[in-house]
Amino acid sequence: MSVPELPVTELPVPEPGPTRSATVELVVGGMHCQSCAELIEETLTGDPAVRHATVDLDAARASVTYDPATLTVDDLCAAVTGVGYRATRAAPAAPGS
């Protein structure tokens, strides 16, 4: 008894749509050394929706470029909090400064 072969139908592969990105500055508390900054950076960049993250220990800030369709600023802050630090969105710079 043989199994009949079914026709193979190729489906078109959709083209990836344009990706949006946003950059946010976070104020990060609780860092004491470069290892702390590296852990936060690795945590943030471990999320596929984060395109780039840089943590500055001396300024106590993180700059994060991410996909706002997938993540919110609260999600980013929660990721930092989840590894034992504090994070809030930085206040926007005053005009002319």
What are the sequence ranges of the domains in the chain?
32-89
Q: What is the pLDDT of residue 27?
A: 98
CATH class for the domain made up of 32-89:
alpha beta
Cβ burial 53-89 (10 Å sphere, 16+ → b, else e): bebebeebbbbbebeeeebebeebbebbeeeebebee
Q: What is the pLDDT of residue 38?
A: 98
Q: What is the pLDDT of residue 3?
A: 60
Q: What is the pLDDT of residue 20?
A: 87
User: In this model, does residue 34 exceed pLDDT 90?
Assistant: yes
The verdict on pTM exceeding 0.85 is no
Q: Cα–Cα–Cα angle for 48, 51, 56, nearest 5°?
A: 115
Q: What is the pLDDT of residue 1?
A: 59
DSSP H or E segment with residue 56: strand 50-56
Q: Cα–Cα–Cα angle for 80, 60, 38, nearest 5°?
A: 55
User: In this model, does residue 52 exceed pLDDT 90?
Assistant: yes
User: In this model, does residue 14 exceed pLDDT 70?
Assistant: no
